[in-house]
Structure 1
Amino acid sequence: MHKHNMKGWVVPCAIAASTYVKWCIGLGSYSGYGTPPMFGDYEAQRHWMELTIHLPVQQWYRYDIQYWGLDYPPLTAYVSWICGKIGSWIEPSWFGLDTSRGLETPGNKLFMRASVITLDVLIYVPALYAFTRIWHATRSSRTQHAALITLLFHPALLLIDFGHFQYNSVMLGFTLLAINAFAVGFDLVGAVLFVLSLGFKQMSLYYAPAIGAYLLGKCIFLGSKKGLKLFTRLALVTTLSFVILFAPFLPPFSPMSTLAASISRIFPFSRGLFEDKVANFWCFTNVTVLKWRRLFDGKESLLVKGSAVLTALGFFPAVAGLLWGCYKTQSSPPADQQSQASTPTLPLLPYALLTTSMSFFLFSFQVHEKSILLPLLPLTLLLSGASPGEEVFAWGTLGNIVGVFSMWPLLKKDGLGIQYVAMLLFWCRLIGYNPFRVQFNSFVHLFSTVVNMSMILLHLLEMVVTPPARYPDLFPVLNILVSTPVFGLIWLWSIKRGIQVSWAIAGLPRSRTDGKIKLAKDGAHDSDNEPASATDRRPVALGGVRRDAGMRTVSLGYASGQSSGVGGRGLVDPRRRALERMSRRAGSVEVDRVAGER
């Protein structure tokens, strides 16, 4: 396509293909199908549409909370109201108050599946496209297209949203739009978008420390005068966004008790330390070391405090790295208007998002196995720009595969076994990764080989061995024992990479002249290894380091990790070879290969 000047068709064809795959996944079963009396997440989402269109706002968080009471923030309720109104216009019986509970008609299923795909196309897909254009701006169009395809077919999200049934792509899409806005200097817009993400699902709090530290760091970077001005604007815009979001629950529209009811539902500390079997620190140690619930029986407040402390310690390096990097590169007064578009710590933001979200997943209170989607987003963003042979590619592929594997007990219960296998194999083929290949040339490759073999062995055993009556959860527990160490090592790796990137950013050679930062000019290059023009004064969105700054442009994925032993430089990306083979089989023209691009 690129060779024959048809590259304009790559993006629409990729989006159409991913939409088709999502629809095919949705043809299967879903959470709670045919399992009364509570059914599952599908019924929860349908029920929220039912109650929001029939009840006043004051009753949304109070009505029959034992049967899938609304427990997501207001934006989810508003979206449910819109979907419920549209659905009731088509067929009122789909959302009859109380009378439609457990409804599983083909028409209702078609509408519900269509609502997920519609919101995904409206919010998440544009966010992915903008990400590849902004964060990979200095890369070739082929690299941007490969990154987009890698992200569009993200297996974990597709299986949960379009198989299990949820709307996580809306939450993740708003977060991704926010960091895209930060990358181009629209900090106030980014703050509003992240409030929308928080307003849709409270799990976005997993990202809050990193985003808050980045924005605070930018205020430090800009200096006392302009930094204080930005801080004041951010505080006002964020506060006003939350007030508008919760306005129907506040006086004079509703009594304060309505707001209190919604808050108690959004943050359910009474539910317990974790749900089901989840591959995090608490469940892992609960199986291998001690029984936390038994030890702290009747003292759950101590567990809440303990999990909060561990979570804060877990994301502290990411927050400290962002703030320290901005402090070390601050300019007072700021350099020029162009350099204010983003801070030098912008390339650190994806690693910080990974560190903080993985810390929440591993250590926080009340974690569900689906929460792994949050750390998988920044991990896959980093992976999208990496080449095979780099650390980030190895850790990114391993993390995504294990992330899907960790949700296998849930997907199995939902009857999504075929979709699980198909999506994993398809995505691995698409990015050029062979999970059956044995590699010993580095720690991460050796570790990946051991983990992959363990997952395959565990699946084979589950097919032929019946768990003893005494240990009915044998295989979910073994799943946890395999998955949790992987997530723990990815968390530690993200901290290591964050320290490396932060140190490199803070250590840029600079000298102050007339109150402005000047970086040494010694061999400027862009991310495609082309010499930078001496007259090229365009700011680079990533890192705030311009081409004339004397440093290689920090492009996401380009500086994402050291070669892990298979010759990262000069290596042809297998993702491109896989796309070429697929293109030839479909009768399309062969796509050019470009060797040596990272």
Structure 2
Amino acid sequence: MDDELSALPPDTELRKFTSRIRTTSLGVHVRQAYHSPASPQSSTTGRRGESPLRRLSSPSPIPHHLTHEIHAPTPQRHLLESNASQHWLRTPPHSPTSSRAASPVSAIHTHRLIRHMSFSSLHEETRPRPRVHDKEKEKEREREGETMGRRWIRWMNRRGLKRWVVPGAILTSTLVKACISLGSYSGKGTPPMFGDYEAQRHWMELTVHLPLRQWYTYDLEYWGLDYPPLTAYISWICGKIGSWIDPAWFALDTSRGIETEGSKVFMRTTVVVCDALVYVPALLMFARTWQGTRSKRTQSLVLLTLLFQPALLLVDFGHFQYNSVMLGLTLLALNFFATGHDLVGAACFVLSLGFKQMSLYYAPAIGSYLLAKCIYLGPSQGGILFLRLALVTLTTLLLLFLPFLPPFAPLPAILDPISRIFPFARGLFEDKVANFWCASNVIVKWKNWASHGVLIKLSAGLTALGFLPSVGGMLHAGYKLRLPEKLEKPEKSDVVGGPAHTHTPFLPLLPYALLSSSMAFFLFSFQVHEKTILLPLLPITLLLSGANVDSSVYKWGVLVNNTAVFSMWPLLKRDGLGVQYIATLLLWNRLIGYNPFRLPNKSFIQLLSTAVYTAALSLHVLEFIFAPPSRYPDIYPVLNVLISTPVFVLTWLWSIKCGIEVGGGLGSGGGVAGERRPPSVSEHSVTADGAATGSFRQMGGRAVSLGVAQSYKRRATFGGSSRASSVVGAGDAE
């Protein structure tokens, strides 16, 4: 500081300047303003390391035609930047903005103040004064971004309870789950078949008392087991524990329809425990992995948003199911993909498939991502990864179905679980589900128009067309960003930190591909339940959790979540969960700071949200006041479907659009990733070591965050050059 101040000329010399220079940086334009071609001392090479204050104090006159006034408009960010996806996985922005704001006063005025003020006083004196209406707009934006969850997190931090934020959120969500469990459930007091609660209890009963070969064949007319083997194994464990507590709860045949208080407490507890063992750890890992560069408060807010998702709470802890296990295993797979542990992630996804076959909704997206990574790594490393993934997948599947294979069972025994897992004989859809088939069935009676076999083929074709854009986009990204040949065979010392053990630059595409694929299955596939909307809700809620409140991702995520809960209203009403339906919706929307009654702007999503909420509220009022006519007893469920289905169709189209935009933003330099022009400044040396220093800024470099700098340093370990680090971060512009 003393050296900089000693370079200042006296005040009399400063008065010689008559022009004012406004600049945003000490870049080439400002240097040209002070550059004199006739003077060798003013060359660029001779003055790059010189203090900027010394250059400003040059006594030579400045011609008027060489002065510049540089404006720094804020560019509109690409979707890959604007939806906070650059924060995921420590991915740096494509176009890092300057860390210095535009100077509101002339350099001479600032120069004079430096002699008499400290840096804090100087900043307070020279910063631009916001106008009155700017202050009002800023306060309004702060109020809109202020959420109940954020206020609670701030309150905990101010009182020295920072380390209790995450445990408090988990305990509070567990308490909410327990409160929901106090209500009714599927099939309560409705013999002879009861509902999903009795189905889950019955599976514990038969797995405990029957040999394994009879699990999928015993009395199929009364809740025959129709889930994959992992569900059966977990049911066996729960049944063993319950039989040890009270054998009457799971007595073979005689316990059917049992609804004692003790048995209900035990069954509800199994759901809470399974959720705590699988789903909650997956959420914690997601917040730490995908949102790793965000602040601790933001990570805590992400966790709150996911913990209190109303649809999952109502289905698992109200209606009674174990969907959190399936979703938790899938989320663990995504987390391991993000950290480069593809083999562990593949095993987790196979376990998710082994728990519930509905995880197949995610299979096209996850399969295309892993295949795209094999393409990205090249023939050598990609081929090795492909063989390892195939081996892990087949081994995990073999272990799940091993009791149904020789020598433990005859070979035809494997057909018993398969025929139960894929029930094509049940029909195109059940009840009134908000998908394409049920909504269009109002006009076109599909079962009368086409045979059963034709409907199966038509459903499969439409489903494939539905997820094809996301699969194609993922494979195209892997090919476009593939590594150059010289990085396909790293040295032995670099294998651990090589590209096969890191996430790919097209990983931000994965959530959109999951949303597109799962929504396509929900809309067009065969035999869909209303509860399967939980699968598309997982990826869009993950996107929503880290998005800004004024972003389209946030608005679409909230709309889809609220509409999904509304679409399940006929089911929840039948289960007697009306109070829980209202309470969870209000709690979650209040927690994330969403106000559906705020005056809409002119954006399409806001107008759509207003129309959907108005129609849903009107339908609830009509249903509460008027009974359905005898001629149309299902009029209200059908209207529910007609309101919800357009939202899901538009969400599916929006996910395809976002995937195209994000994919187009990756590797925008064109060509193979390794053939791009390398950075002018060594990223792994200057960026990592001098990002926060003034000397780096004087050299003409742009400041980056320390998190990004460290990520570049890690990426450079396997390449040995700045070119290698830019290849691993393909898609991150210079």
| TM superposition score normalised by structure 2 | 0.71
Query: How large is the RMSD of aligned CA atoms in angstroms?
Result: 2.5
Counterpart contact for 1:197–1:204, Cα < 8 Å: yes
Count residues with an aligned counterpart. Answer: 545
| Structure 2 residue corresponding to 1:291, chosen from 434, 445, 453 | 445
2:371 counterpart (206, 216, 226): 216
Q: Shift in Å at residue 472 of structure 1?
A: 0.3
Q: Which secondary structure does the structure 2 equivalent of 1:441 belong to?
A: coil
Q: Which amino acid aligns with 1:531?
A: V
| Matches of 1:530 and 1:96, distance apart in 2 | 69
Q: Over residues 178-234 of structure 1, what are the superposed CA-to-partner deviations in whole Å (9 max), with x where a residue is unaligned? A: 010000000000010000000000000000000000000000000000000000000
Which among 567, 582, 586 is matched to residue 421 of structure 1? Answer: 582
The aligned runs of 1:68-79 (5 Å cut-off) are: 68-79=223-234
Moved more, 503-512 or 62-71: 503-512
Query: Could you say which residue in structure 2 is the equivalent of 1:463?
Result: 624
Structure 1 position 15, deviation (Å) = 0.3
Structure 2: distance between partners of 1:369 and 1:510: 44
User: Contact conserved, 2:316 with 2:324, CA < 8 A, in 1?
Assistant: yes
> Matched residue of 2:440: which SS?
helix
Given the superposition, is the C-alpha separation of residues 33 and 173 from structure 1 closer, same or farther in structure 2, using an over 3 Å criterion?
Answer: same
- State the AA in 1 paired with 2:626: V
Unaligned runs of 5+ in 1: 556-598
Give the drift of 1:4. 4.7
Q: 1:495–1:191: structure 2 CA closer, same or farther, 3 Å change rule? A: same
What per-residue deviation string (whole Å, max 9, x for no partner) do you get for residues 52-76 of structure 1?
A: 0000111000000010000000000
Aligned residues of 1:41 and 1:166 also touching (Cα < 8 A): yes
**C-alpha displacement of 1:256:** 2.0
- Report the AA paired with residue 84 of structure 1: G
Q: Specify which of 51, 56, 62 is matched with residue 217 of structure 2.
A: 62
In structure 1, which of residues 502, 513, 531 is the aligned counterpart of residue 704 of structure 2? 531
Larger mean CA deviation between 364-373 and 249-258 belongs to 249-258
Question: Is the Cα contact below 8 Å between 1:274 and 1:368 reproduced in 2?
Answer: yes
| 2:280 corresponds to 1:107 | no
User: Superposition pairs for residues 27-42 of structure 1, below 5 Å?
Assistant: 27-42=182-197
Contact 2:666 2:731 in 1 (8 A): no
User: What does 1:88-487 correspond to in 2, within 5 Å?
Assistant: 88-287=243-442, 289-296=443-450, 299-333=451-485, 334=487, 337-340=497-500, 341-487=502-648
Tell me the alpha carbon deviations over residues 31-58 of structure 1, each in whole angstroms, 9 at most, x when there is no partner: 0000000000000000000000000111
Find the aligned partners of 1:535 and 1:132 in 2 and give their Cα distance.
21
Give me the whole-angstrom Cα distance separating, in 2, the residues matched to 1:269 and 1:507.
45
Q: Does 1:499 align with 2:660?
A: yes
- Contact 1:521–1:548 (Cα < 8 Å) also in 2: no
Pair 1:285–1:219, CA change in 2 (3 A): same
- Structure 2 Cα separation of the partners of residues 90 and 501 of structure 1: 54
Residues 519 and 93 (structure 1), Cα distance of their counterparts in 2 relative to 1, 3 Å cut: farther
**CA 1:437–1:217: 2 relative to 1, 3 Å:** same
Identity within the alignment, %: 61
Displacement of 1:294: 1.4
CA shift in 2, pair 1:451/1:373, >3 Å: same
Contact 1:210 1:353 in 2 (8 A): yes
State how far apart, in whole Å, the 2-side matches of 1:312 and 1:231 are: 23
Instruction: Say if 2:667 and 2:731, in contact at 8 Å, map to a contact too.
Output: no
CA spacing shift, 1:423–1:520, aligned 2, 3 Å: farther
User: 2:364 & 2:304 partners in 1: Cα distance?
Assistant: 29
Aligned partner letter, 1:472: P
| Structure with greater Cα Rg | 2
1:314-335 Cα shifts (integer Å, max 9, x gaps): 0001101111001000013337
Partner amino acid, structure 1, of 2:164: W
Query: One-letter code of the match for 1:274?
Result: F
Whether the aligned pair in 2 keeps the contact of 1:522 and 1:550 (CA below 8 Å) is no
Distance (whole Å) between structure 2 residues aligned to residue 163 and residue 390 of structure 1: 32
1:2: how far off? 2.7
Hey, what's the Cα distance between the residues in 1 that align with 2:316 and 2:170?
16
Residue of structure 2 equivalent to 1:85: 240
User: In 2, distance between residues paired with 1:400 and 1:394?
Assistant: 10
Q: 1:377 corresponds to which letter in structure 2?
A: L
Deviation for aligned residue 1:295: 1.2
Which TM-score applies when normalising by structure 1?
0.87
- In structure 1, the residue matched to 2:17 is none
Task: Report the alpha carbon displacement of residue 238 of structure 1 after superposing the two structures with TM.
Answer: 0.3
Q: AA paired with 2:355?
A: F
